[in-house]
Amino acid sequence: MRHGAVRTLGMALLLLAPAACDSLAPRASDRPETARDFPRADRPVAPIISTRWSTEEARDRVNEAEDIMDRAGIRPGMTVADIGAGEGYYTVRLARRVGPEGRVLGQDIIAEVIDQLGRRVTRGNWENVSVKLGTPDDPKLPDASFDRVLMVHMYHEIAEPYAFLWRLYPALKQGGEVIVVDMDRPTAQHGTPLALLRCEFEAVGFKLIGSEAHTAAGGYLARFSLGGTRPAPDEIAPCRLARTNRSATAD
């Protein structure tokens, strides 16, 4: 990852109704069976190449976690999920922020990573933290439980975004928010164009309530809330990126 300002990638989004996009129909045997009722993502999925993108010391020097938590409005007593927690950089700092009256759930889809995170939680005696193994199409979160869900530098690695987000939707409390931090660049380059992120979230019923550049953590921070209606899986209109001839580096 590299620090940088948000860039406009010069891409136009076309929302395609399921009946008009047979090429995106969930029929391939390489997909999890539990995801096949949902549209296929019409974009590359970045491989998981590491559980970290910089050292914790380097991230703390630019005040990354504290700034993200401030912007996300995370306060003592809240319940927060750290999705794609990895080695727990955010998990333990969230635990300190929410305090003994709050709760943090550290989630990842790699069993070995969850084992490592569990050991870190035990060593640090973080009594307000639990860990959870999810899957590529289901975060496995309890319903109506979270004030905030953080997804930091990991959204581009979600192979089944529509199934994943659809199953994430019920986990938010009323008034809760999903906070996404990522780079505004193609998913194949370990980022997510902000327009694509918004399209995929809104396709399953979320609503974008704000976005801003964030140079300390790299790229942008986007905030989503419940939008009111979650469509049935076969009613989700998938998003397709149509590249234009405009510059990919225009301000």
Q: How confident is the model at residue 46 (pLDDT cuts 50, 70, 90)?
A: confident
Looking at residue 148, its pLDDT comes to 98
Residue 44 confidence (pLDDT): 87
Query: In this prediction, what percent of the chain has a pLDDT beyond 70?
Result: 80
Among the listed residues 90, 109, 106, the one whose alpha carbon sits nearest the alpha carbon of residue 45? 109
The mean pLDDT of the chain is: 85
Nearest to 162 by CA among 78, 37, 247, 44: 37
Do 213 and 5 touch, CB atoms closer than 8 A?
yes
Check pLDDT > 50 for residue 170: yes
Extract the tokens encoding 143.
């319903």
How far is C-alpha 34 from the chain's CA centre?
A: 19
Hunting for tokens 């590249």 — which residue is that? Answer: 243
Nearest alpha-carbon partner for 107 in 76, 151, 66: 151
* Least confident segment among 93-102, 115-124, 137-146, 241-250: 241-250
DSSP string, 76-111: TT-EEEEET-TTTHHHHHHHHHH-TTSEEEEEES-H
Segment 198-226 shows an average pLDDT of 92
pLDDT tens digits along 85-135: 999 999 999 999 999 999 999 999 999 999 999 999 999 999 999 999 999
Q: Domains of the chain, with CATH numbers? A: 14-243 (3.40.50.150)
Highest mean pLDDT among 8-22, 52-66, 169-183, 215-229: 169-183
Residue 147's nearest CA partner among 209, 181, 212, 98 is 98
Structure tokens at 70: 């401030």
Model confidence pLDDT, tens digit, residues 3-37: 333 333 333 343 333 333 333 433 456 899 999 99
